[in-house]
Amino acid sequence: MKIRLIPVLLLCLVLWGCGAEQKQETVPPQPETTTEAVPETTMETIPETTQAAQPPVVTKDPTGEKLSPGGKTWFVAHAEGASIVTWEFLSPEGTAYSLTETMSLHPGLLLDAGQVDTVALENVPLSLNGWSARARFDGPGGSVTTQAALITVSKSEGAYDRVIEAYRTAMAHKGEGYGISAQYDVSEMIFYASHVGYVRKDLDGDGTEELLVAGIGYDIPEEPCLFEIFTLVDGNPVSVGRSWTRSRLFLMQDNKIYNEGSSGAANNNFSVMQFSGSQLRFLNGLYTTATLADGSPSPYTYYFTTSNQYGDLALLAGDNGMEEKVAQTFLTSWRDSITLPELCLIA
């Protein structure tokens, strides 16, 4: 009986072991976790900004100066942000010259830019009248130029001073309109030149110098015509000839006065005159006409005359008809004789 129990017990042990294995808890598989790659953040490099250098800023322009020949003066200018200052002088025509060039053009003139922002002038000649001075400032950011300061060098011309002042004032106001020439009693030719000047010249050799007023830097016409001629009568200036757009006066090399005028497309006159006895006296000339006094066609275009200055047709019979080719030789000779001395600037 005991022997039968042993196999039974063994069987029970086996079955119990199998049941224990089935009771072990099964751990469910864990899902795989995938780690997404986080993109790297690239930091944009911002370049360091440096402020660009600015050009100098003018804080003081030089101002105009008036003085007599042989005098001295100086000009001062300032600018912020500048490391170098260079002074220049401008001619009435606007051409810029260095200090050395300016002194060579005006013998005796002394210029010194040794002081900071200053140029000094000594022994200033009359020829510097109408010139201007300006400063150019240079710095790391560029350069800048000041306004130009006008230099006025003048001497008294006695009784003619009132004439010179009238032209100077008219030039200052000519932008106000053509009525200015009548208002100040000056030639309307001021509207055709950028500057006006004068020269004194004894035209008839009597010991009294006439005053010749003329333009500098013409727009139209191109020829250097005289604006006006003055002489002294009892110590007072008197006009003996004035140019206007349709009748212009010119100085000839022998001190005679040449005149070109026109009263119409077919009527022109060309005159040679001599100043004498406080007036201009007609010597000879040419005039043109297309018709005779009775209205019939003229056989000649040009007529030479010694008395009929303005081509009065009633007096034409006493003048000499001339072929155009011959007339042109006279005109060329007269025009080639035109001259104009160096002028002292008025304005």
Specify the 3-state DSSP secondary structure of 93.
Answer: coil
Per residue in 178-189, pLDDT (tens digit) is: 999 999 999 999
- For the chain, give every residue range classified as CATH 2.60.40.10: 57-153
Per residue in 69-89, pLDDT (tens digit) is: 888 999 999 999 998 999 999
The whole-number pLDDT of residue 221 equals 52
Residue 94, pLDDT above cutoff 60: yes
**CB 271 within 8 Å of CB 258:** yes
Query: Percent of the chain, pLDDT > 90?
Result: 60
Q: Identify the bridge partners of residue 144 per DSSP, sorted by sequence position.
A: 137
The whole-number pLDDT of residue 307 equals 93
The whole-number pLDDT of residue 13 equals 46
Per residue in 320-329, pLDDT (tens digit) is: 999 999 999 9
The whole-number pLDDT of residue 71 equals 86
The whole-number pLDDT of residue 17 equals 52
Q: Mean pLDDT across the chain, nearest whole number? A: 85
CATH 3.40.50.2300 fits 57-153, yes or no: no
Q: How confident is the model at residue 38 (pLDDT cuts 50, 70, 90)?
A: very low
Residue 8, pLDDT above cutoff 50: no
Neighbour count for residue 101 (Cβ, 10 Å): 13
Residue 2, pLDDT above cutoff 80: no
129-135 mean pLDDT: 93
The first and second tokens of residue 252, run together, are: 């000839």
Distance separating alpha carbons of residues 111 and 136, to the nearest angstrom: 16
Q: How confident is the model at residue 118 (pLDDT cuts 50, 70, 90)?
A: very high
Q: How confident is the model at residue 218 (pLDDT cuts 50, 70, 90)?
A: low
5-23 mean pLDDT: 46
**CB 108 within 8 Å of CB 127:** no
208-236 mean pLDDT: 85
Residue 30, pLDDT above cutoff 70: no
The whole-number pLDDT of residue 345 equals 82
The whole-number pLDDT of residue 239 equals 97
Question: 158 in the Ramachandran plot: left (φ > 0), alpha (ψ -120 to 50) or beta?
Answer: left
Per residue in 267-315, pLDDT (tens digit) is: 899 999 999 989 999 999 999 999 998 889 999 999 999 999 988 988 9
The whole-number pLDDT of residue 347 equals 80
The whole-number pLDDT of residue 346 equals 85
Residue 9, pLDDT above cutoff 70: no
**CB 172 within 8 Å of CB 190:** no
The first and second tokens of residue 48, run together, are: 């360091």
More confident call, 266 vs 196:
196
More confident call, 135 vs 4:
135
1-30 mean pLDDT: 47
Specify the 3-state DSSP secondary structure of 306.
Answer: coil
Q: How confident is the model at residue 141 (pLDDT cuts 50, 70, 90)?
A: confident
97-101 mean pLDDT: 96
The first and second tokens of residue 305, run together, are: 């005359």
